[in-house]
């Protein structure tokens, strides 16, 4: 009889373990499902009518150990068949600039902010091709926050990658249906650091991950007008300015002679400083990020609006205060519209943003980050490592950007010593040349976008969407002839 009772008790305990575990899992999933639903954006001020795709916004706390940090996101389902489309994380650069104020609201998101506070549908939004996740990282950028002020003085490339990875781990728990989707990362400018470094971290962590736990289905990344190698970036900036008639032959020759010199004596350094000052003066009245477009003129004093101060740039430039006053603008004032929009209390409520009531106003580029502690001179070794790992990598360049110009990008890729697989050729958007493209062995593609500045989707929306769509499609290359897309 005792044996019978032991058997009954054993089966009861086994049944309890199975049932209780399943209940716990259901409760856990239900909690995450409820959190996702709570993040759903409804009644967003100015939202256009007829929007059929859901979108979500809110915070993800990084971990139990980093409960004082929370990163803000805005997520858009693909416009059609979102369950079949890949998931793409978009990152802007700076460092310290917002992927929401720039990427989502001015460039490639489905809603573009206008002067009157309204939103218009972006006909060329990238969520036509993918599910789009915009992240404000690191803390101190946009609505992302920390409860410890010292965190703002400990930021750099390493912390940004770690925190972004922690965010993704938490985000996938909240949106588990997207865990199995092909995952890509894209970004521009200083995201030339962010994107490869985050991809590298994901790749390394995936090696020890279980599929059902922390594995992220990373397939590749795409970066535009990207800061990737200081030496070639700087040389490309000077050569671009000269080849586009912004600086004189004499100034170009003087810079090449004095500023590339290996001599570090005081006289050489002083001469170089004068030449760099003259170089920056040449850009004082135009937009270095888009050399052929108008700049935004302040209505109060009819002077150009200064661009946000960058935390990281080549030392040759940052030692000059004039570098921080070079004007930048696109449409030409969309940056001002976005900042005004996201500072509205009704907008913040709808987006579940600013829940801690930050002590500073929302800005497109952070004014509270204390310092940037690590920024390697080059990320080319990281890119090469990830190419060898089989990731799909595209680097694109708007060819009217003077800040990270196409010359810089071409010099940087040349430095990698890759063999050409498909020779330089034009690619087409319908009946016009969209840019030029070259494909290298190992999986790297370089594409230019004709007539676009630093923010390619702003000035070349159809070409940017075509570029993005072909990047995601592994079986097609950029169109080689008119009307072939």
Residues involved in catalysis: 189, 401, 454
Tell me, letter by letter, the H, E, C secondary structure of 94-146: CCCECCHHHHHHHHCCCEEECCCCCEEECCCCHHHCCEEEEEECCCCCCCCEE
Q: How many other β-carbons are positioned within 10 Å of the β-carbon of residue 211?
A: 10
Give the residue from 60, 77, 66, 26 showing the smallest Cα distance to 143. Answer: 60
How many degrees, rounded to 5, is the angle at CA 371 between CA 367 and CA 373?
Answer: 145
Alpha-helical regions (H) of 294-445: 315-318, 334-342, 345-350, 380-388, 406-415
Measured distance CA(33)–CA(24) in Å, rounded: 14
With 0-12 / 13-18 / 19 or more C-beta atoms within 10 angstroms meaning exposed / middle / buried, residue 111 is: buried
Q: Is 411 helix (H, G, I), strand (E, B) or coil?
A: helix
**What is each CA distance from 234 to 48, 229, 254, 409, in whole angstroms?**
43, 9, 15, 10
Measured distance CA(332)–CA(311) in Å, rounded: 23
Q: Is the dihedral of CA 23, 27, 28, 29 positive or negative?
A: positive
Asked if residue 455 lies in contact with residue 481, where contact means CB atoms within 8 angstroms, the answer is no
**What is each CA distance from 203 to 181, 206, 386, 471, in whole angstroms?**
16, 5, 8, 20
Q: How many other β-carbons are positioned within 10 Å of the β-carbon of residue 96?
A: 27
């Amino acid at each position: 009889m005792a044996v019978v009772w032991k058997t009954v008790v054993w089966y009861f305990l086994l049944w309890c373990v199975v049932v209780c575990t399943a209940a716990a899992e259901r409760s856990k999933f239900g909690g995450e499902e409820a959190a996702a639903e709570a993040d759903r954006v409804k009644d967003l001020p100015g939202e256009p009518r007829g929007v059929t795709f859901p979108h979500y916004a809110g915070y993800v706390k990084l971990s139990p150990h980093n409960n004082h940090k929370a990163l803000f996101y805005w997520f858009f389902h693909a416009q059609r068949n979102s369950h079949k489309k890949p998931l793409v994380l978009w990152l802007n650069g700076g460092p310290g600039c917002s992927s929401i104020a720039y990427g989502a609201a001015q460039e490639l998101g489905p809603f573009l902010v206008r002067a009157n506070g309204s939103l218009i549908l972006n006909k060329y939004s990238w969520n036509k091709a993918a599910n789009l996740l915009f992240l404000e990282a690191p803390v101190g950028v946009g609505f992302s926050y920390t409860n410890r002020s010292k965190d703002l003085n400990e930021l750099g490339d390493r912390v940004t990658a770690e925190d972004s990875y922690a965010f993704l781990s938490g985000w996938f728990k909240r949106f588990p249906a997207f865990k199995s989707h092909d995952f890509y990362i894209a970004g521009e400018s200083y995201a030339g650091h962010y994107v490869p470094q985050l991809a590298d971290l994901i790749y390394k962590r995936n090696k020890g991950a279980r599929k059902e736990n922390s594995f992220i289905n990373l397939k590749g990344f795409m970066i535009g007008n990207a800061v990737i190698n200081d030496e070639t970036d700087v040389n490309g900036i000077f050569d671009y300015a000269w080849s586009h008639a912004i600086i004189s032959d004499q100034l170009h020759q003087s810079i090449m002679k004095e500023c590339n010199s290996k001599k570090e004596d005081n006289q050489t350094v002083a001469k170089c400083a004068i030449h760099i000052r003259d170089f920056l003066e040449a850009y004082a009245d135009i937009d270095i990020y888009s050399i052929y477009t108008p700049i935004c003129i302040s209505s109060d004093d009819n002077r150009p609006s200064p661009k946000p101060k960058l935390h990281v740039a080549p030392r040759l430039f940052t030692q000059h205060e004039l570098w921080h006053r070079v004007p930048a603008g696109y449409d030409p004032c969309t940056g001002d519209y976005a900042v005004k929009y996201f500072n509205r209390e009704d907008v913040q409520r709808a987006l579940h943003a600013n829940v801690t009531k930050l002590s500073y106003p929302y800005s497109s580029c952070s004014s509270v980050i204390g310092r940037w502690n690590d920024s390697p001179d080059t990320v080319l070794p990281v890119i090469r490592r990830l190419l060898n790992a089989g990731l799909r990598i595209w680097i694109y360049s708007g060819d009217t950007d003077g800040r990270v110009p196409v010359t810089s990008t071409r010099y940087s890729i040349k430095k990698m010593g890759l063999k050409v697989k498909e020779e330089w050729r034009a690619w087409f958007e319908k009946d016009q040349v969209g840019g030029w493209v070259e494909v290298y062995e190992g999986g790297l593609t370089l594409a230019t976008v004709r007539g676009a500045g630093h923010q390619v989707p702003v000035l070349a929306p159809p070409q940017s969407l075509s570029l993005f769509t072909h990047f995601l499609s592994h079986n097609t290359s950029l169109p080689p002839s008119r009307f072939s897309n």
